[in-house]
């Protein structure tokens, strides 16, 4: 047994859950290639360890050149795509050398290819992005055809995929207008297409096309605010755990924590847990956020501190210093904690702080 010398908070990353969730993506979109989205340090789970668990994916999508290079140098041979393309023309030579695939979403990026005069570079694969209504990245519909012709004229481009991104695949408004516009713009085109994020993979088979781009569902968190991850058959890939480090007994009228936000109206046992907002636990979550102590679901009390939170252990009499606490994972879904904090699972997973020890487990 290893010596236990650290603060007890830890994030366990479950390789089996990642593999299983990739299998769920494949069963939902059996005809599509899968671009596993591993941006933001694989949604806080650790880029290289997640890539290893997801090494069956047909491609990986990241934002930074450094992340893409790390994947290539780790030996992954599949498509590695930069979701925002290049930020400066200087990077084109490097992207080419590492055989990276680049999103091209504006004319400046197109010009990087047109102005490139390194005939020794490998030609680069491009995902050309259309703005079909989200108004974030992508060529406007009225210039799309002209820009595509210019891209086709670039001898340093090999292989073009047409892509777009949905604003409302997880909302009741849905994707119909964006999909109709994309289909109209790309009708008759011989190029492969990529449209679907996790929500569209789950809800809109008509948008699966050649490449799907799952992110959040690979990590076992639901893309929908009103659908639990468990009913999508996906499993949480992260368990954030800690321990109780102090126990307090409140009399009626006593309060706990900064601002004395929680007042006991009956005798209340409080466990103090080694986890706070500096670990990535959301400060916006107030009394009542679900949390698990000794395998039993209970609730947080009062305001989250930088390094600690408070839990109600009145009904868990055997809870004591050292008792295990699950902040989120298989017993408490990260989505339930996110909902209590007015946010989404994505934000909590990405925000797990560097000071939290991450341990990869194969199960
Ligand atoms: C982040 C991202 C995705 C993945 O979205 P999820 O909702 O996490 O599945 C897909 N496509 C693009 C362009 C993205 O930026």
Atom of ligand 1 nearest to the CA of 201: 9
How far is Cα 225 from Cα 169, in angstroms, rounded to an integer?
12
- Rounded mean pLDDT of 227-254? 98
- Rounded mean pLDDT of 209-225? 98
Beta bridge pairs of residue 103: 127
Q: Is 43 a catalytic residue?
A: no
Atom of ligand 1 nearest to the CA of 169: 7
Overall pTM > 0.95: yes
User: Would you give the end-to-end CA distance of the chain in angstroms?
Assistant: 19
Strands 268-273 and 10-14: unpaired
* Residue 117 pLDDT: 79
Q: From the CA of 145, how far away is ligand 1's center (Å)?
A: 25
Is the separation of the CB atoms in 270 and 256 below 8 Å? yes
236 C-beta closer than 6 A to ligand 1? no
Residue 317: CB atoms within 10 A of its CB come to 9
* Per-residue pLDDT tens digits for 327-338: 999 999 999 999
pLDDT tier at 5, thresholds 50, 70, 90: confident
Atom of ligand 1 nearest to the CA of 223: 7
* Residue 4 pLDDT: 76
Q: From the CA of 227, how far away is ligand 1's center (Å)?
A: 18
pLDDT tier at 357, thresholds 50, 70, 90: very high
Q: Tell me the pLDDT of the chain averaged across its residues.
A: 96
On the 0-12 / 13-18 / 19+ scale of CB atoms within 10 A, 68 is buried
Choose one of 215, 216, 237 to mutate for the ligand 1 pocket test, by most ligand atoms within 8 angstroms of C-beta: 215
For residue 1, pLDDT beyond 70: no
pLDDT tier at 146, thresholds 50, 70, 90: very high
Tell me the domains of the chain and their CATH numbers.
Answer: 15-222 (3.20.20.10), 238-361 (2.40.37.10)
131 C-beta closer than 6 A to ligand 1? no
Helices within 187-342 (DSSP H only): 198-203, 334-340
220 C-beta closer than 6 A to ligand 1? no
105 C-beta closer than 6 A to ligand 1? no
Mean pLDDT is lowest, of 108-122, 247-261, 287-301, for 108-122
Q: Is 39 a catalytic residue?
A: yes
Atom of ligand 1 nearest to the CA of 129: 13
* Options 39, 281, 310, 346, the catalytic residue: 39
Provide the 8-state DSSP code for 139: B
Q: From the CA of 215, how far away is ligand 1's center (Å)?
A: 5
Helices within the chain (DSSP H only): 15-28, 39-43, 47-53, 65-73, 92-97, 107-115, 141-152, 176-186, 198-203, 334-340, 345-350
For residue 173, pLDDT beyond 70: yes
List, in order, residues 6 or more apart from 126 with CB less than 8 Å away.
Answer: 101, 102, 103, 104, 113, 151, 157, 159, 160, 161
* Per-residue pLDDT tens digits for 29-85: 999 999 999 999 999 999 999 999 999 999 999 999 999 999 999 999 999 999 999
For residue 252, pLDDT beyond 80: yes
pLDDT tier at 207, thresholds 50, 70, 90: very high
CA–centroid distance for 134 within its chain: 19
How far is Cα 152 from Cα 184, in angstroms, rounded to an integer?
19
* Residue 137 pLDDT: 97
Strands 309-312 and 268-273: antiparallel
- For the chain, counts of helices (H) and of strands (E): 11, 18
For residue 120, pLDDT beyond 80: no
């Amino acid at each position: 047994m290893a010596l236990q010398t650290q603060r007890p908070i830890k994030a366990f990353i479950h390789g089996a859950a990642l593999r299983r969730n990739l299998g769920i993506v494949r069963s939902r979109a059996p005809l599509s290639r899968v671009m596993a989205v591993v941006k933001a340090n694989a949604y806080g789970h650790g880029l290289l360890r997640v890539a290893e668990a997801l090494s069956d994916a047909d491609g990986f999508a990241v934002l930074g050149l450094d992340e893409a290079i790390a994947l290539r140098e780790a030996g992954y041979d599949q498509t590695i795509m930069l979701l925002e393309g290049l930020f400066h023309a200087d990077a084109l030579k490097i992207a080419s050398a590492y055989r990276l695939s680049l999103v091209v979403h504006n004319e400046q990026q197109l010009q990087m290819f047109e102005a490139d005069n390194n005939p020794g570079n490998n030609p680069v694969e491009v995902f050309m992005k259309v703005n079909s209504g989200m108004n974030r990245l992508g060529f406007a519909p009225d210039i799309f055809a002209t820009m595509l012709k210019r891209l086709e004229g670039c001898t340093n481009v090999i292989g073009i995929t047409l892509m777009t991104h949905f604003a409302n695949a997880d909302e009741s408004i849905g994707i119909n207008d964006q999909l109709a516009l994309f289909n109209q713009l790309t009708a008759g085109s011989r190029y492969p297409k990529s449209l679907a994020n996790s929500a569209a993979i789950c809800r809109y088979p008509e948008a699966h096309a050649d490449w799907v781009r799952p992110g959040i569902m690979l990590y076992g968190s639901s893309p929908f605010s009103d659908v639990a991850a468990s009913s999508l058959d996906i499993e949480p890939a992260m368990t954030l755990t800690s321990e109780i480090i102090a126990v307090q007994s409140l009399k009626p009228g006593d309060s706990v924590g900064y601002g004395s936000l929680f007042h006991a109206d009956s005798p209340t046992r409080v466990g103090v847990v080694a986890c706070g907002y500096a670990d990535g636990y959301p400060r916006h979550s107030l009394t009542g956020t679900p949390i698990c102590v000794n395998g039993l679901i209970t609730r947080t009390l009062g305001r989250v501190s930088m390094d600690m939170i408070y839990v109600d252990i009145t009904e868990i009499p055997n809870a004591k210093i050292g008792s295990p606490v699950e902040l989120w994972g298989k017993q408490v879904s990260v989505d339930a904690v996110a909902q209590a904090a007015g946010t989404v699972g994505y934000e909590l997973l990405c925000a797990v702080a560097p000071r939290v020890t991450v341990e990869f487990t194969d199960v």
